């Protein structure tokens, strides 16, 4: 099993270091901040708000920051409440209590704005998240990941550039609402308790600060109870009652009980190829193109184009020309993601409806796509090995008569400097 180590990133959220790859999964600047800035802030919520169901595909879910940030954001913004209670669809989906319904009825009849049908649940509004990753261990650990640590020390022995930590003052401390972790935990708890690898990570005392105390304690007690100590069953019952009752009530009150969470532990290419759904939002958070080209190929983007709804948005952190040219070739309209805090473009949004593009590609960006840097990865049958995909790509680049990106940048800056 892959060795990994958790560490606190500069915004107090937990990041993971993978010793097999000698690489980090999350920016040391802040795992949660990164998720917000690259996947949540660029979303056109006006468009999303009009939908009766929001379908999200979270590709490379890992420990779930992108999906969790989405839920956290809308919970913070009281979006859930508005989303589930717009004029058309009814308050009844939130307030089932008759007295309240009658009260509403009166108001609406007096105002002459709506008729009684608004109180029926004929339009179901919901949020469905489909999470995909090929590493089941990360999946099962995802509901335990704690965020919002107050004191952050620079991690030792990790390949992390400590200069990030010098900037940590600018970064606000963020926290994922515990309820969101509980929601995910509820969906996958039975698989977690059967997974020995995950249980051994959870029971490692060195890692306990990184995990939600309640959920970790609950699972470890549950397992202990079944394996060794029958007396713990009382404790388990208390725990279970507390956990389920307290959290479930809160899920209901916040409408998070209308969030559906599905997961697929598999290669994202086969999941997407077999998917017949249409998504409003697709998050693509794969390792960088030169490490994991199979999730950035023209063929993969063609499949993503197929499953994106006409007003949907695909979001990713990559600004690379190799990615953008594959997206455009697959039919997408592509724009920049602007990061206010850093005052620069830090991602890409790919859509079918050009009205959703807030920051179009610049003249420079378009020029870059025509250079060798714009030659994209190919994975004809969506089952190639990364090494083979890279080999083919290098060959195509070598034989290309296109201008090199270095030359292009040189000419571009030179021409710009001319009076
Ligand atoms: C940069 S991490 C994503 C971090 C994640 N979004 C999070 O919030 O923790 C990349 C993820 O891609 C997954 N991955 C790599 N190759 C994959 C593939 N072919 N299909 C699905 N997932 C893959 C890895 O297991 C890893 O979790």
The residue among 11 and 22 whose pLDDT is bigger is 11
Site to probe by mutation for ligand 1, drawn from 36, 61, 133, 304 as the one with most ligand atoms within 8 Å of Cβ, is: 133
β-bridge mates for residue 22, sequence order: none
Token code pair at residue 88? 């058309």
Mean pLDDT of 22-51: 87
Q: What is the Cα gyration radius of the chain?
A: 24
- Cβ atoms within 10 Å of 139's Cβ, excluding its own: 25
Residue whose C-alpha is closest to residue 266's, from 66, 128, 130, 69: 130
233 band by pLDDT with thresholds 50, 70 and 90:
low
The predicted model scores a pTM of 0.86
User: Is ligand 1 within 6 A of the CB of residue 184?
Assistant: no
Is the predicted pLDDT of residue 151 greater than 70, yes or no?
Answer: no
For residue 142, give the ligand 1 atom closest to its CA. Answer: 9
All domains in the chain, ordered by first residue: 4-84+125-153+173-264 (3.40.50), 267-417 (3.40.50.150)
> Residue 55 in contact with residue 39, Cβ under 8 Å?
no
Q: Which amino acid residue places its CA nearest to atom 13 of ligand 1? A: 60
- CA-closest residue to ligand 1 atom 22: 133
Atom of ligand 1 nearest to the CA of 138: 27
Separation of CA 225 and ligand 1 centre (Å): 33
Confidence at residue 417, expressed as pLDDT on a 0 to 100 scale? 64
| Residue 132 CA, ligand 1 centroid: distance in Å | 8
| Residue 327: predicted pLDDT | 98
Q: Is the CB of 66 under 6 A from ligand 1?
A: yes
Ligand 1 proximity of 62 Cβ (cutoff 6 Å): yes
Stronger pLDDT, 22 or 192, i.e. the higher one: 192
272 lines ligand 1 (CB under 6 A): no
379 lines ligand 1 (CB under 6 A): no
Can you list the alpha helix ranges (DSSP code H) found in 254-286? 268-273
pLDDT at residue 152 in the model = 59
Q: Is 79 in the pocket of ligand 1 (CB under 6 A)?
A: no
Which 8-state DSSP code applies to residue 37? I
Residue 243's pLDDT is what?
72
Beta strands across the sheet bearing 23-24 = 4-8, 14-18, 23-24
b/e string for 23-58 if b means 16 or more Cβ within 10 A? ebbbbbbbbbbbbbbbbbbbbbeebbeeeeebbbbb
Query: At residue 53, what are phi and psi to the nearest 5 degrees?
Result: -140, 135
Nearest CA to 210 out of 12, 2, 410 is that of 12
- Check if 292 has its Cβ closer than 6 Å to any atom of ligand 1: yes
> pLDDT value at position 146?
87
- Closest-CA residue, ligand 1 atom 2, reads 25
Average pLDDT estimate for 51-59: 93
152 in helix, strand or coil? coil
Write out pLDDT tens, residues 282-302.
999 999 999 999 999 999 999
Model confidence pLDDT, tens digit, residues 361-383: 999 999 999 999 999 999 999 99
Relative to beta strand 4-8, strand 14-18 is antiparallel
> 303 falls in which pLDDT band (50, 70, 90)?
very high
Residue having the nearest C-alpha atom to atom 12 of ligand 1: 60
* Residue 379: predicted pLDDT: 98
| Average pLDDT rounded to a whole number, residues 202-218 | 88
Is the CB of 134 inside a 6 Å radius of any atom of ligand 1?
yes
Q: Which protein residue's CA is at the shortest distance from atom 10 of ligand 1?
A: 286
Contact 263, 183 (CB under 8 A): no
Question: What mean pLDDT is reported for the chain?
Answer: 82
pLDDT of residue 223: 76
Q: Which of 147-156, 369-378, 409-418 has the highest mean pLDDT?
A: 369-378
Angle 41-215-181 (CA atoms, 0-180°, nearest 5)? 15
Model confidence at 159, in pLDDT bands (50, 70, 90)?
A: low
pLDDT, one tens digit per residue, over 326-356 is: 999 999 999 999 998 888 999 999 999 999 9
Rounded to whole angstroms, the Cα distance separating 284 from 281 reads 10
284 lines ligand 1 (CB under 6 A): no
Residues linked to residue 146 through DSSP beta bridges, in sequence order: none
Kindly state the average pLDDT of the residues 44-53: 85
Which of 28-37, 43-52, 64-73, 116-125 comes out lowest in average pLDDT?
A: 116-125
Residue 418 has pLDDT above 70, yes or no: no
Among the residue ranges 122-126, 158-162, 196-200, 204-208, the one predicted with the least confidence is: 158-162
- In this prediction, what percent of the chain has a pLDDT beyond 90? 48
pLDDT for position 162: 45
């Amino acid at each position: 099993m892959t060795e990994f180590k958790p560490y606190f990133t500069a915004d107090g959220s937990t990041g993971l270091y993978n010793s097999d790859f000698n690489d980090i999964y999350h920016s040391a600047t802040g795992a949660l901040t990164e998720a917000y800035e690259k996947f949540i802030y660029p979303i056109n919520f006006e468009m999303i708000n009009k939908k009766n169901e929001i379908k999200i595909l979270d590709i490379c879910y890992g420990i779930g920051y992108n999906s969790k940030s989405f839920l956290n954001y809308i919970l913070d913004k009281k979006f859930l409440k508005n989303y589930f209670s717009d004029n058309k669809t009814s308050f009844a989906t939130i307030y089932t209590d008759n007295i309240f319904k009658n009260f509403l009825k009166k108001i609406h009849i007096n105002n002459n704005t709506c008729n009684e049908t608004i109180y029926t649940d004929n339009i179901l509004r919901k949020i469905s998240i489909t999470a995909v990753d090929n590493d089941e261990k990360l999946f099962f650990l995802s509901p335990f990941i704690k965020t919002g640590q107050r004191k952050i020390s620079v991690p030792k022995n990790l390949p992390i550039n400590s200069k990030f930590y010098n900037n940590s003052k600018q970064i606000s401390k963020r926290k994922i609402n515990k309820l969101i972790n509980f929601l995910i935990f509820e969906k996958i708890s039975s698989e977690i308790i059967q997974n020995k690898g995950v249980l051994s990570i959870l029971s490692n005392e060195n890692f306990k600060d990184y995990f939600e105390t309640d959920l970790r304690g609950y699972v470890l007690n549950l397992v202990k109870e079944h394996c060794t100590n029958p007396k713990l069953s009382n404790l388990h019952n208390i725990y279970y009652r507390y956990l389920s009752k307290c959290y479930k009530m809160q899920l209901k009150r916040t409408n998070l009980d209308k969030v559906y969470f599905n997961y697929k532990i598999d290669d994202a290419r086969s999941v997407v190829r077999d998917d017949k759904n249409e998504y409003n939002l697709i998050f693509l958070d794969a390792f960088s193109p030169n490490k994991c080209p199979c999730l950035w190929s023209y063929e993969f983007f063609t499949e993503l184009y197929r499953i994106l709804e006409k007003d949907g948005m695909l979001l990713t952190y990559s600004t690379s020309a190799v990615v953008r040219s594959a997206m455009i070739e697959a039919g997408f309209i592509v724009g920049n993601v602007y990061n206010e805090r850093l005052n620069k473009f830090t991602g890409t949004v790919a859509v079918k409806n050009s009205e959703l593009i807030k920051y179009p590609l610049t003249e420079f960006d378009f020029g870059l796509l025509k250079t060798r840097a714009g030659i994209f990865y190919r994975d004809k049958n969506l089952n190639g090995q990364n090494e083979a995909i890279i080999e083919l790509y290098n060959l195509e680049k070598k034989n290309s008569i296109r201008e090199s990106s270095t030359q292009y940048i040189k000419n571009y800056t030179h021409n710009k400097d001319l009076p």
